Chains A and B, each alone.
Chain A
Amino acid sequence: MELVVRNLACARGGLPLLERVNLVLQAGQALVLRGPNGSGKTTLLRTLAGLQPPLDGTLSCPPEACAYAGHADGLKATLTAAENLQFWAAIHGQPSGSVSRALAAMNLSDLAGRPAQALSAGQKRRLGLARLMVTGRWLWLLDEPTVSLDAASVALFAGVVRAHLAQGGAALIATHIDLGLEGAEELQLAPFRAAPRAPAGFDEAFL
């Protein structure tokens, strides 16, 4: 399994943001996306996840192989932590045993029966990240996964990513901090910024 991105261009809000992006990600590798705010990290990840079509270029990896974790955790406030994960495990056709493993890995076992609305911001984030482990997908697309996590939780999460890589998974991580992943390559997005150009037509903003 590998992700090969060739000559990718993607847009945000109808305006081209990135172009000529090339990257290769093998099983077992992690790639850290770097760039200032607004440089297109989220746009690139959403394009790879299949949430928006690329303007140009090719992706070797079908969206079905990717598990996307964006800024929002996708938790339902009135469901308990375990129920939230059980739902995503069922949607992805994973056995329910994966739920308790994911909760344990993110140190949430004690909070399994608590409604998501009663969790702190960091605990919600950990629950959102635990969702990745019940998707059974090999490529994790992580958009600033460490927001509102404390240092111990960041280390915990880095361990989870390391375990995922060791099992033949891969991760593409947009982050501003050092996760402490050994051997992870970095990709600066700033050189791929698209040259400004006028939109081709009025309709393009709506299509």
Chain B
Amino acid sequence: MSALLLRDLRLALRAGGGFGLGLGFFLILAVLVPLGVGPNPATLALIAPGILWVGALLACLLSLDRLFALDFEDGSLDLLATAPIPLEGVVAIKALAHWLTTGLPLVLVAPLLGLLLNLPAPAYGWLVLSLLLGTPALSVIGAFGAALTVGLKRGGLLLSLLVLPLYMPTLIFGSELVSRGAQGLPVGTALALLAGITTGACALLPFAAAQALRINLR
């Protein structure tokens, strides 16, 4: 299993691996929003949590269609399915690799982009915590969507349509957590629900995704 994780990380970091695609998108969004909305600090502070969360979500979505499609096209998905590691493990590891190359960089760079959007000072800790808790769910739910659409040509559109409704709870509770944190309100409920969605998704969706892959490989 660690061999698969290392291979996926290595592939992502080599030329054409797509590492930095989501990060670049996130950066562009955070730079463009103040230009589009106007430089009023109060307005920016109000919308900053939502913008940062929507940006992180869309950045995650960008690289999802490659998650299984590349392995499907070059035949390695067939070989992984016949390998001695369970397909559920393959899905979990590939989702983890996706999070490490897409989600984690977003978490690390988000405070910097919060500066551009005039995020209130008390919210920085909550921003990092909410993204740290929420982005793994984005990767795992995305892996499920990618497994459903793996055999389709140009499955990206269908993937987005399937995955976006599943992303909504994470988005709502994630940005709510940051907004409440910024205003100094209690955040316990949003925090618990965000963590609950992530742990539930990580526990259940690899099994659903593996089953979807088995059907698509026939």
A→B interface (CB under 8 Å) = 49-53, 63-64, 66-68, 70-79, 83, 86-88, 90-93, 131, 206-207
Q: Chain A interface secondary structure, helix, strand, loop or mixed?
A: loop
Task: Please name all residues of chain A whose beta carbon is closer than 8 Å to the beta carbon of B85 when the two chains form the complex.
Answer: 91
Task: Please name all residues of chain B whose beta carbon is closer than 8 Å to the beta carbon of A64 when the two chains form the complex.
Answer: 84
Q: Chain B interface secondary structure, helix, strand, loop or mixed?
A: helix
Task: Please name all residues of chain A whose beta carbon is closer than 8 Å to the beta carbon of B81 when the two chains form the complex.
Answer: 50-51
Task: Please name all residues of chain B whose beta carbon is closer than 8 Å to the beta carbon of A66 when the two chains form the complex.
Answer: 82
Q: Contact at A76–B76, with CB atoms within 8 Å?
A: yes
Known: A73-B74, A86-B3, A91-B80. 10 other contacts (CB 8 A): A50-B82, A67-B82, A72-B75, A72-B76, A74-B76, A76-B11, A79-B14, A91-B83, A92-B83, A206-B215
Task: Please name all residues of chain B whose beta carbon is closer than 8 Å to the beta carbon of A72 when the two chains form the complex.
Answer: 73-76, 78
In the assembly, what is the distance between CA of A96 and CA of B25, in Å? 40
Could you mark each residue 87-124 of chain B with 1 if its beta carbon is under 8 Å from any beta carbon of chain A, else 0?
00000000000000000000000000000000000000
Asked if B152 is at the interface of the complex by the 8 Å CB criterion, the answer is: no
Task: Please name all residues of chain B whose beta carbon is closer than 8 Å to the beta carbon of A53 when the two chains form the complex.
Answer: 218
Task: Please name all residues of chain B whose beta carbon is closer than 8 Å to the beta carbon of A83 when the two chains form the complex.
Answer: 10
In the assembly, what is the distance between CA of A73 and CA of B73, in Å? 10
In the assembly, what is the distance between CA of A53 and CA of B211, in Å? 13
Most buried by B among A49, A72, A207: A72
Residues facing A in B139-177 (CB within 8 A) are none
Sample of 22 A–B contacts (CB below 8 Å):
A50-B82, A51-B81, A51-B217, A51-B218, A52-B217, A52-B218, A64-B84, A66-B82, A67-B82, A70-B75, A72-B73, A72-B74, A73-B74, A74-B74, A75-B76, A76-B11, A78-B11, A78-B16, A83-B10, A90-B3, A91-B4, A91-B85
